[in-house]
Each structure stands twice: as C-alpha cells, then as structure tokens.
C-alpha cells in the first residue's frame, strides 16, 4: 500500500530534550516536506526537500533541523524543544518537481513539550 | 507572497443541504489550487485540484469546485451533505504570481459540521 508513515504518533517530552520524528514514504517520491498544524493557523511548512541531500527552509524553520540521506526518509529533528513547538506535525511527499501533483500526507505526530 | 483566505472558520449545515465552503486566493496569475479534507485524527487527503485544464473540477465523495479567475475564487460545493462529510477542509495554493511551485500555502481551514 502506498503510504507515508510517521513515528511516533504521540510524544510528550520536556524542554531541551532532543527528539527526532521519523518520516518514511514507499512511493519513490522526490519531494518531501514537513508541516506543523496549529488551531486557527492552518498548516505551515517547516522544511522541504526536493531530493536526496537537497533541503530548504519553509515558512517556520526556527528550532528545527532535517536531513535527507535516503530518498524514502525525511526525519525532523528538534535539538532543544521548547513549549512553543507543541503542535501537530505532518510529513508529506509527492512525485516530481511541480506542484500540480498530489501531495500525500502521513497520519500526523502530536507533540507536547512541557 | 501568495495567500489563501477561507471565509468562515466553521460552517454548519443540515444533512441533505447544500455545502458551500469559500476560498479566495491572492495571485493575479492563476495558480494551482487544491482542496484537502482532514477527518478527525487523520492526515490530509486530496479532494480535488485545479491545474488549468477545466474551470469546474470534480473530486471525490461528490465534491466539486469552480475556478473563477475574475473573482479569484475556488469555492467548494456539494449538493447534498452527508453525516460522513463532517471534517475540516483546507484550501491550498501553489505557483501563480508571488508564489512558489515548490510549496503549498494553506488556508486556515473550515470546520464543517453536519447536523442530522
């Protein structure tokens, strides 16, 4: 089944404790992206990757890191989480370079930073 | 920069009634436009997309949207609401003037409630 998977689905952590949220897709998509969703703000892009070893900042990159060492994986790293990073996070992927192609979303990771 | 405005953060309809969710974009050059749906505790799923082939776009689950350049709008409609349509709906845009083909810009979402 074609899908985007994220782990963990739920995470409660404390301020300053490094964490990684994994994202993997099995569709051989070039493009992958991370979003955060907050009430009343919709989805905002954190980082995206056009292909292996090619990443760029989205609208809200502060406090986040990403890497793209393999085509299928695009982990999101919070090196020193803070309470304002409490949010619902989505990973997405799509084929090709243009945005006329559908973006496929993972099920989401709900992160709480105390 | 490209932006999307969804009028109404919450829309409530009766089962069987018309669903109309509004979306306006800011580009003077027609962009790519999308509607996504998010069911409770799930990720986003594509309902339909406009890529300049036809102004009336049909999607899944009986939804459709009409691209109106003169009004810079891409409103989502469904003739008869079903209880299973209760979800949050997001309009999104890419490309166009001031926008990028490499990112989606989302509206803030409209929560649809369907009353029995």
Taking the CA of residue A108 and the nearest CA in chain B, the distance in Å comes to: 6
In the prediction, which pLDDT does A97 show? Answer: 67
Tens digits of residue pLDDT in B33-45: 999 999 988 889 9
Angle subtended at Cα B42 by Cα B39 and Cα B44, rounded to the nearest 5 degrees = 75
Residues 6+ apart with CB under 8 A from B70: none
For chain A, the helix, strand and coil percentages under 3-state DSSP, each to the nearest 5:
5, 50, 45
- The DSSP line for A57-89 is E-S--TT-EE--SSSSB--EEESS--GGG-EEE
Q: Cβ separation of A102 and B106 shorter than 8 Å?
A: no
Q: What are the angstrom distances between the C-alpha of A98 and each of A95, A102, B99, B100?
A: 8, 10, 13, 10
In the prediction, which pLDDT does A99 show? Answer: 66
In the prediction, which pLDDT does A37 show? Answer: 94
| DSSP 3-state of B70 | helix
Tens digits of residue pLDDT in A46-72: 999 989 999 999 989 999 999 999 999
Q: Cβ separation of A108 and B42 shorter than 8 Å?
A: yes
Of A42, A48, A105, the CB nearest to B102: A48
Half-sphere exposure of A67 (CA within 13 A, CB side): 8
In the prediction, which pLDDT does B101 show? Answer: 62
Of B42, B90, B101, the CB nearest to A98: B101
């Amino acid at each position: 089944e074609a899908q985007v998977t994220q782990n963990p689905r739920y995470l409660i952590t404390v301020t300053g404790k490094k964490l990684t949220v994994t994202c993997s897709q099995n569709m051989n998509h070039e493009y992958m992206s991370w979003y955060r969703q907050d009430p009343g703000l919709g989805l905002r892009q954190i980082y995206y990757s056009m292909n292996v070893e090619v990443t760029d900042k989205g609208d809200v990159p502060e406090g986040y890191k990403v890497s793209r060492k393999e085509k299928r994986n695009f982990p999101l790293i919070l090196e020193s989480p803070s309470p304002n990073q409490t949010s619902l996070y989505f990973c997405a992927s799509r084929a090709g370079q243009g945005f006329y192609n559908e973006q496929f979303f993972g099920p989401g990771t709900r992160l709480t930073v105390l | 920069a490209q932006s999307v405005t969804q009028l109404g953060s919450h829309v409530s309809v009766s089962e069987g009634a018309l669903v109309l969710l509004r979306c306006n974009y800011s580009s003077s050059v027609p962009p790519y436009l999308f509607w996504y749906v998010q069911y409770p505790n799930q990720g986003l799923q594509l309902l339909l997309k406009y890529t300049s082939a036809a102004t009336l776009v049909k999607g899944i689950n009986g939804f459709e949207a009409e691209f109106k350049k003169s009004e810079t709008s891409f409103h989502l409609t469904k003739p008869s609401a079903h209880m299973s349509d209760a979800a949050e709906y997001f309009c999104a845009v890419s490309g166009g003037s001031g926008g990028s083909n490499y990112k989606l810009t989302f509206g803030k979402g409209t929560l649809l409630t369907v009353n029995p």
